Structure 1
Amino acid sequence: MVISPLKLNLDTVNLTDEQFYQLCQKNSNLKFERTSTGELIILPPVEGESGNREAEFIIDLGIWNRQTKLGYTFSSSTIFKLPNGADRSPDAAWIKKERWEALTPEQKRKFPPIAPDFVIELRSATNSLETLRQKMQEYMNAGVKLGWLINPQQQQVEIYRLGQDAELRNLPTELLGEDILPGFTLSLDCY
């Protein structure tokens, strides 16, 4: 059963970035995102299988990053302030070292005002595929260079590259980090 996130239209409220940050801090038991149009999204929790898969992806990305020391890896708890005004939290993200280190300590401490270079979104049983596709397009429009939308329900993965149409692959497959994550591979078996 797909459980839609709760969406609140706040276009007339105009939450400032600081107010959104405080809302998230005061309600840390909830997971929030905000679209570029100001719509507040309250996300449902993921079930155990998706949580485990998400953790495995972060581990693989983190191990590769520790070996290469090319950047920084982030979990789904991190909210990024995208250039289009959206506040989004991918299931896993990575930012090139030079870009992350160019941020001020204050920017790193709150919701970093930067689009990741790479994102992973994992469709759980509670996610709408169309909503995740819209989110992936929002990442690409914000400057994310490479993104993977992993869809175990349909045994597929969608590969998003900046300035290109999404590529659809069937599982099992092996994903390559290309020139964004040189040498990184992620093997996706059937789920």
Structure 2
Amino acid sequence: MAIAIQPQITLKEFLNLPETEPASEFINREIIQKPMPQGEHSTIQGELIITINGVTKPEKIARAFPELRCTFDGVSIVPDIAVFRWQRIPQTASGKIANRFEIHPDWVIEILSPDQKLTKVLSKLLHCSRNGTELGWLLNPEDESVLAVFPGQRVELYEGVDQLPILEGIELSLTVAQVFGWLSFA
């Protein structure tokens, strides 16, 4: 039985490949294509971006970006939501938002899809934490829980009426139940 082996490529070679739909990421010298977002995923992602940007953009505190490629420390990831503090958002010489973000996000939010492995996504958040990301969330719609990753790789589980940790300096109050309540029509 023959096993097909994917040739090892460099980060630079990966970044020169055409973009895929959905996006592919480069982690541990491996190309991993993200799953196509479905209803729960898209709903939570959209509501979180609106909610975070609603309190951070007017005051120029931070900005939440959906599906933004972030390349740093040998990886190129596309978090479901990447939040950057305002002063860290890469800019062009003319003061516009840069196309390439070659730094770690300050807050990374991932929403687990039905065909994703929790350990793979958690591993991505831990890598971000090791490289300066202040807060990571891993939302699991199946059991309505959130794993939060803090500096030093500390991981905490939040459920139900638990208040979610928010990036310092952002005046936002959300519980796990509120976030997953966005999925209900009731």
List per-residue Cα deviations over 1:122-171 (Å, max 9, x = no partner).
Answer: 11212211111111111111210011111122232111111141011223
TM-score, normalised by the number of residues in structure 1: 0.79
Instruction: Give the 5 Å matches for 1:65-144.
Output: 65-76=56-67, 78-82=68-72, 84-101=73-90, 103-104=91-92, 109-144=98-133
User: What amino acid maps onto 2:64 in structure 1?
Assistant: T
List per-residue Cα deviations over 1:32-81 (Å, max 9, x = no partner).
Answer: 1101x3211112202112111111111111111123311222112x1001
Give the stretch that moved more between structures: 145-154 or 169-178.
169-178
Instruction: Give the 5 Å matches for 1:1-191.
Output: 9-11=6-8, 13-16=9-12, 19-25=13-19, 27=20, 29-35=21-27, 37-76=28-67, 78-82=68-72, 84-101=73-90, 103-104=91-92, 109-179=98-168, 181-189=169-177, 190=180
CA distance in 2, matches of 1:115, 1:33: 14
Number of residue pairs matched by the alignment = 174
CA distance in 1, matches of 2:22, 2:140: 24
User: What amino acid maps onto 1:50 in structure 2?
Assistant: H
TM-score, normalised by the number of residues in structure 2: 0.81
Report SS of the residue matched to 1:169: strand
Percent identity reads 25
- C-alpha root-mean-square deviation of aligned residues, in Å? 2.5
Report SS of the residue matched to 1:61: helix
Assess if the C-alpha contact under 8 Å between 1:176 and 1:183 holds in 2.
no
